[in-house]
């Protein structure tokens, strides 16, 4: 604010400067008086000053973060990271394929057990043996069923009929003709009694 000397003179300028400096010493930050000549181009509005300060602090923070990040990159083993990523990728694919294979195997096992349970095998021991033999055939499992399984089991039943329950043959019903009132009398009295019982109520019957 030296430009005021020419306006106020040395004595008055000195008093003015003393007052301003005293005030600025006791005033808090942001309340101090700053005097400048606008024509000199040194004047900056408070809003613009705050914007510039914010931008400065932001840039300073970005610079600090960038410096720290770059420093951390310098300590990293890029080739090691690339190798680790590839290993994890291969492990993920292998684990996914193994899980999918396990699920498919379980589905086939459950379907096979259900199919064998419907074949009316007599004993648990036979069921276990037949199930193992069935699984060893490695039938194609499609749409929840084994392709060719029915023909295979038909052959097994023909080859080992004693291991399966058989359907009981249907018995024909035998009809026996009743013998009521067909007894033939052996004596005369019996004959008369027989005729009387059979035709006694017939008005045309004569003894």
C-alpha to C-alpha distance for 32 and 187, rounded to whole angstroms: 159
Number of Cβ atoms within 10 Å of the Cβ of 146: 20
Report the pLDDT value the prediction gives residue 89, as an integer from 0 to 100.
86
Work out the angle between the directed axes of helices 124-136 and 78-117 (0-180°, nearest 10): 130
> Tell me: the pLDDT tens digits for 103-150?
888 888 888 999 999 989 889 998 999 999 999 998 998 888 899 999
pTM of the model: 0.41
Closest to 117 measured CA to CA, from 103, 130, 133? 130
pLDDT single digits (tens) 51-109: 677 777 777 878 787 777 777 766 777 787 778 778 888 888 888 888 888 888 888 88
Among 31-35, 44-48, 58-62, 95-99, top mean pLDDT goes to: 95-99
| DSSP for residue 3 | G
Domain boundaries, the chain: 1-43, 44-76, 82-163
* pLDDT of the residue at 56: 79
Q: What pLDDT does 61 receive? A: 79
Averaged pLDDT of the chain: 76
Residues 146 and 140: beta-carbon distance below 8 Å: yes
Please count the other Cβ atoms lying within 10 Å of the Cβ belonging to residue 1: 14
Instruction: Write down the pLDDT at residue 78.
Output: 77
d(CA 97, CA 105): 12
Token pair 């300060």: residue: 53
CB atoms within 10 A of CB 112: 19
Rounded CA-CA distance 119/130 in Å is: 10
């Amino acid at each position: 604010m030296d430009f005021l000397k020419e306006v106020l003179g040395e004595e008055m300028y000195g008093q003015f400067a003393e007052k301003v400096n005293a005030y600025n010493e006791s005033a808090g930050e942001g309340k101090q008086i700053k005097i400048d000549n606008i024509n000199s181009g040194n004047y900056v509005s408070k809003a613009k000053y705050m914007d510039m300060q914010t931008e400065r602090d932001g840039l300073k923070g970005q610079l600090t973060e960038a410096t720290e990040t770059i420093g951390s990159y310098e300590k990293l083993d890029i080739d090691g990271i690339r190798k680790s990523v590839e290993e994890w990728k291969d492990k993920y694919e292998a684990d996914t394929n193994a899980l999918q294979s396990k699920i498919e195997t379980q589905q086939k096992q459950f379907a096979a057990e259900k199919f064998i349970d419907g074949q009316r095998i007599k004993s648990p021991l036979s069921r276990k043996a037949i199930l193992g033999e069935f699984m060893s055939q490695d039938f194609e499992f499609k749409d929840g069923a084994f392709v060719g399984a029915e023909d295979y089991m038909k052959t097994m039943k023909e080859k080992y009929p004693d291991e399966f329950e058989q359907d009981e043959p249907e018995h024909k019903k035998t009809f026996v003709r009743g013998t009521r009132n067909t007894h033939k009398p052996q004596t005369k009295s019996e004959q008369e009694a027989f005729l009387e019982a059979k035709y006694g109520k017939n008005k045309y019957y004569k003894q």
